Amino acid sequence: MEVKVINKSHHPLPQYATPYSAGVDLRANITDSIILKPLERVLVPTGLFLELPQGYEAQIRPRSGLAFKHGLTVLNSPGTIDADYRGEIRVILVNLSNDEFVINDGERICQMVIAAHSQVEWIEVEEINETERGTGGFGHTGKQ
């Protein structure tokens, strides 16, 4: 699938790391390093602008290495970029560790997955079919 992109960053376009990769890493496009203190959040620009086809979204997700090693994650994970959004992709990062984390220009800060989605047509009714699970909610199937 082809997607139109404007790259106003000074970094190359995102690429898939392997033939089986689902996402591409996005890089920080900043002039000065950002020091992210514990529990602090920041909006990091990427310099990228997309034109996605209708029926697709871009999902912004944490990078597992940054999350595990440094407690850095995408705050609204996964973030959704709708097909009709034309602004710059910016990423909300939060530092969940006890240590400061420095974000440098060009650092791979998150991954982006392009995914198809559907829109539903709501049919308002008075009742819905029962299932074995029924109204069982959070943790109702037990710990094991």
pTM of the predicted structure, to 2 decimals? 0.89
User: Would you mind telling me the total number of residues written for the chain in this entry?
Assistant: 144
Is the preceding peptide bond at 12 cis, omega within 30 degrees of 0? no
What confidence tens digit (pLDDT) does each residue in 67-115 have? 999 999 999 999 999 999 999 999 999 999 999 999 999 999 999 999 9
What confidence tens digit (pLDDT) does each residue in 69-78 have? 999 999 999 9
Give the domains, in start order, of the chain with CATH numbers.
Answer: 4-116 (2.70.40.10)
